[in-house]
């Protein structure tokens, strides 16, 4: 399930490309018996042909007549160097063209191998039949071989299951330190050998979020054997195993090694190989499908730029789960409506970098999200700028955090229709938006109706904050066009939960905070001595609800004479502004908060002020003229 598995060139069940034409001449004898053990013994076994892996060197195979382990002929493969235009590596599979083999009488595949230089073969194994539906693929990875002939033994995990197998032997090998080399195989056959004992099956322990209606193939399955006194671990497809579920109303194992997610809830899945219990378990946390589809969008198509919705024509999206993200995505239907299911989410990257979108005429981003989780849900937009390249120096990004108490709110266990004003993402250009990143504490969720639209613009200040009239000699300013400002280290500390942007309101420099939970403003490198001042002042504008019990809080922190937080002499105090305080909290207008230090009761010293922390219930605010005065 992990994304890294998708990046492996050589993986269990890899699809193959074509045959090389090296096959047994049908005039040599009668049709093979279905339990024939021969793959290559001086010639190809009955009905056997070789098929090269896609992207491998297609002409890598030759027949060797001079250097064999036994008999008169062997298989010789040329492994290409890095960058060789004829192929990335050497590899392929030996398959039967017609009937599968009954190999249940054998306990291992054996072969002899050597190389022109010491090398590591990526994988050797069996059970890959080039159909894309292989269920019993088994591989030994990172096999070290030398320049002398050596015998490899690959145990069969559970011989009784291998009764109709067409994939007899496969391998894949790449360059050594960038250089190519030659690889030989001989005497490739199935055998019943002594010295194979003590099978120890293993299942990778994990916790995964899934959804009802999906089919899961467990990954990370393996079995370790003792082979002639030495442990050997093989990677296996789950078809070898029998799975059990603690709740069959949530997870129902199938006979072919899949897990059918049939309902919502949690279930623990264990496995066994024959009668031997596998180490490890898989905890599956399943979401039931939504009871119905997301609400049908009502915006007129002419006012919408859609990325994913059945209601509109959609712009091209490169990927709904980028290579660099940590999430899994699947396409499902809910009552005939297409939805995206995200599971195992740390952060999901949605990219449309090939065709960045120009949505500067739009006012809102809309998403429908269905989740049973609580906690923050974050949406980030990234604009690549005019060069259309990430990291080009003109990128902009902004993030909005939503919760059960945000506007709009995240609802639990039902569709949340999220209409987010683009202004809440800060001052993005919105002409080359190329990425959307979803994160937070929602490890699994359904997503639908992702689009930008032109609606009523979100309220914001159109005139600047009133210019303060305090005499410059009576002011220590942190941020104001009316005064010289002291150095501030950051207007949004690394530990806070807020986004800040620099904007112009009526030509006046202003700070805009979005997704404000608490904003840490730090001036620790040059603390403020406000002992001669009498008031703290700032101007505040918001369109958020301000009726009781909403509050906006201002905290001042003095680090003490040692200038260090936590040094034992810190003091702090927080003042809350509400609809019933003086001044009263209200929206749609510039508030002049002029707070006397007498309200900061516990701030008994002010010689080393180092932090200003803004918090409360307002999620989007504009502030200006942040200063101390007397």
For 333-374, the pLDDT digits (tens) are 999 999 999 988 999 999 999 999 999 999 999 999 999 887
On whether both 46 and 182 belong to a single domain, the answer is yes
pLDDT of residue 429: 78
Instruction: Single out the residue of 259, 167, 175 nearest to residue 221, CA to CA.
Output: 259
What pLDDT, in 10s, does the model give residues 496-533? 988 888 889 999 999 999 888 899 999 999 999 999 99
Average pLDDT of the chain to the nearest whole number:
91
- The residues, ordered by sequence, that sit 6+ positions from 194 with a Cβ below 8 Å of its Cβ are none
Among 149, 169, 193, residue at a domain's last position: 193
Burial class (CB in 10 A: 0-12, 13-18, 19+), 300: exposed
CA distance 234 to 143: 11
Enumerate the β-bridge partners of residue 627: 477, 537
CB 438 within 8 A of CB 446: no
What pLDDT shows up at residue 132?
84
Is residue 473 helix, strand or coil? helix
- Judge if 596 and 534 occupy the same domain: yes
Q: What pLDDT sits at residue 508?
A: 94
Task: Output the domain CATH number for residue 575.
Answer: 2.60.120.430
In a domain, residue 359? The reply is yes
Same domain, 360 and 308: yes
* Gap between the Cα atoms of 628 and 485, Å rounded: 11
Q: Which residues pair with 79 in a beta bridge?
A: 181
Average confidence (pLDDT) over 199-216:
90
Under the banding of pLDDT at 50, 70 and 90, the label for residue 23 is very low
pLDDT at residue 3, as a whole number: 41
213 and 188 both lie in a single domain: no
Asked if the structure places residue 466 within a domain, the reply is no
| pLDDT confidence bin for 209, thresholds 50/70/90 | confident
The pLDDT-based confidence of 18 (bands split at 50, 70, 90) is: very low
Q: Is residue 406, in this structure, part of any structural domain at all?
A: yes
Give residue 375's pLDDT.
80
Residues in the chain: 630
Q: Given 193, 223, 243, which residue is the final one in a domain?
A: 193
> What does the block give as tokens for 362?
């739009």
Above 80 in pLDDT, residue 383?
Answer: yes
Sheet strands (E) in 471-587: 475-479, 497-505, 508-522, 535-541, 551-558, 571-578
314 and 417 fall within a common domain: yes
Instruction: Reply yes or no on whether the pLDDT at 272 is more than 90.
Output: yes
Decide the pairing of beta strands 591-596 and 414-421: unpaired
Please list, in sequence order, all residues whose beta carbon lies within 8 angstroms of the beta carbon of residue 419, skipping any fewer than 6 positions away.
364, 365, 366, 408, 455
Inside any domain, residue 272: yes
Whether residue 167 sits in one domain with residue 47: yes
Residues 153 and 243 both lie in one domain: no
CA atoms of 425 and 501, how far apart (whole Å):
9
Question: Are 111 and 125 in a shared domain?
Answer: yes
Q: Considering the domain boundaries, does residue 467 fall inside one?
A: no
Q: Quote the domain boundaries for residue 414.
A: 301-453
> What's this model's pTM, rounded to 2 decimal places?
0.63
Band of residue 385 on the pLDDT scale cut at 50, 70, 90: confident
User: Looking at residue 22, what is its pLDDT?
Assistant: 42
- CB-based burial of residue 599 (10 Å sphere; 0-12 exposed, 13-18 middle, 19+ buried)? middle
A 10 A CB-CB count for 566 gives 9
Q: Is residue 238 part of a domain?
A: yes
- pLDDT tens string 216-269: 899 999 999 999 999 999 999 999 999 999 999 999 999 889 999 998 889 999
Query: Does residue 622 lie in a domain region?
Result: yes
pLDDT tens column, 143-198? 999 999 999 999 999 999 999 999 999 999 999 999 999 999 999 999 999 999 99
Q: Say whether both 556 and 418 belong to one domain.
A: no
Q: What is the pLDDT of residue 28?
A: 52
Which pair of structure tokens corresponds to residue 299?
């915006």
Are residue 340 and residue 383 in the same domain, yes or no? yes
Q: CATH number, domain at 184?
A: 2.60.120.260
CA 167 to chain centre: 33
* Whole-number Å distance between alpha carbons of 22 and 25: 9
Give backbone dihedrals phi and psi of 414, rounded to 5 degrees, phi first. -155, 170
Place of tokens 């093979």: 32
447 within 8 A of 367, measured Cβ to Cβ: yes
Q: Which residue has the higher pLDDT, 20 or 250?
A: 250
433 and 334 within one domain: yes
The residues pairing with 27 across neighbouring beta strands, listed in sequence order, are: none
Q: Which residues neighbour 545 within 8 Å (Cβ) at sequence distance 6 or greater?
A: 407, 587, 617
Q: Does 293 map to a domain?
A: no
Write out the H or E segment, with its range, that includes residue 282: strand 282-287
Residue 329, CA distances (Å) to 211, 309, 585 in order: 11, 16, 44
Cα(377)–Cα(249) distance, rounded to whole angstroms? 29
Specify whether 494 is located in the same domain as 604: yes
**How far is the C-alpha of 192 from the C-alpha of 507, rounded, in Å?**
85
Q: How confident is the model at residue 488 (pLDDT cuts 50, 70, 90)?
A: very high
The total of structural domains in the chain comes to 4
Domain final position from 147, 170, 193: 193
Nearest to 497 by CA among 399, 569, 429: 399
């Amino acid at each position: 399930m992990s994304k890294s598995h998708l990046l492996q060139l050589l993986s269990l069940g890899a699809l193959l490309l074509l045959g090389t034409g090296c096959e047994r001449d049908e005039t040599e004898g009668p049709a093979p018996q279905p339990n024939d053990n021969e793959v290559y013994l001086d010639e190809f076994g009955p009905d056997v042909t070789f098929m090269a892996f896609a992207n491998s060197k297609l002409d890598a195979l030759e027949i060797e007549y001079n250097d064999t382990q036994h008999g008169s002929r062997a298989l010789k493969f040329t492994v290409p160097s890095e960058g060789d235009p004829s192929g990335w590596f050497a590899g392929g599979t030996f398959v039967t063209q017609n009937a599968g083999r009954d190999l249940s009488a054998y306990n291992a595949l054996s072969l002899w191998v050597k190389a022109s230089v010491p090398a590591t073969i990526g994988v050797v194994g069996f059970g890959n039949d080039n159909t894309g539906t292989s269920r019993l693929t088994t591989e030994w990875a990172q096999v070290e071989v030398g320049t002398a002939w050596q015998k490899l033994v690959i145990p069969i995990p559970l011989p009784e299951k291998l009764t109709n197998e067409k994939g007899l032997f496969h391998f894949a090998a790449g360059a050594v330190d960038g250089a190519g080399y030659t690889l030989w195989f001989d005497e490739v056959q199935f055998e019943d050998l002594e010295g194979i004992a003590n099978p120890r099956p293993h299942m990778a322990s994990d916790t995964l979020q899934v959804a009802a209606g999906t089919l899961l193939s467990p990954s990370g399955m393996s079995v370790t054997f003792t082979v002639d006194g030495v442990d050997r671990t093989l990677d296996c497809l789950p078809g070898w195993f029998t799975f059990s579920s603690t709740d069959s109303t949530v997870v129902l194992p199938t006979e072919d090694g899949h897990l059918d997610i049939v309902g919502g809830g949690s279930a623990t899945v264990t496995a066994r190989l024959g009668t031997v219990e596998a180490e490890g378990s898989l905890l599956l946390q399943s979401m039931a499908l939504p009871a119905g589809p997301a609400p049908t969008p009502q915006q007129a198509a002419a006012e919408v730029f859609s990325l994913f919705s059945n209601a509109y024509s959609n712009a091209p999206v490169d990927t709904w789960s980028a290579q660099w993200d940590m999430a899994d995505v699947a396409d499902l239907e809910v009552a005939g409506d297409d939805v995206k299911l995200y599971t195992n989410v740390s952060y999901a990257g949605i990219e449309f970098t090939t065709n960045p979108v120009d949505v500067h005429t739009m006012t809102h981003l809309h998403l429908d999200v269905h989740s049973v989780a609580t906690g923050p849900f974050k949406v980030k937009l990234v604009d690549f700028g005019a060069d259309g390249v990430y990291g080009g120096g003109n990128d902009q990004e902004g993030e909005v955090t939503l919760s059960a108490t945000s506007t709009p709110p995240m609802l639990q266990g039902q569709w949340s229709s999220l209409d987010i004003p683009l202004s809440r993402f800060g001052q993005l250009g919105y002409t080359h938006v190329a990425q959307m990143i979803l994160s937070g504490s929602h490890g699994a969720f359904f997503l639908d109706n992702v689009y930008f639209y032109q609606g009523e613009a979100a309220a914001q200040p159109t005139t600047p904050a009133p210019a303060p009239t305090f005499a410059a000699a009576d002011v220590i300013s942190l941020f104001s066009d009316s005064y010289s400002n002291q150095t501030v280290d950051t207007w949004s500390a690394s530990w806070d939960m807020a986004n800040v942007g620099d904007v112009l309101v009526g030509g006046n420099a202003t700070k805009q905070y979005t997704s404000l939970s608490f904003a840490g403003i730090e001036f620790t490198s040059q603390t403020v001595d406000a002992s001669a001042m009498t008031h703290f002042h700032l101007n505040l504008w918001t369109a958020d609800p301000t009726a009781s019990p909403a509050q906006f809080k201002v905290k001042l922190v003095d680090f003490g004479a040692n200038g260090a937080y936590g040094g034992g002499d810190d003091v702090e105090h927080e003042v809350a502004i509400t609809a019933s305080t003086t001044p009263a909290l209200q929206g749609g207008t510039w508030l002049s908060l002029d707070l006397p230090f007498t309200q900061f009761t516990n701030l008994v010293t002010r010689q080393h002020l180092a932090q200003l922390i803004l918090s409360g219930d307002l999620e989007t605010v504009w502030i200006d003229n942040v200063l101390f005065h007397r």
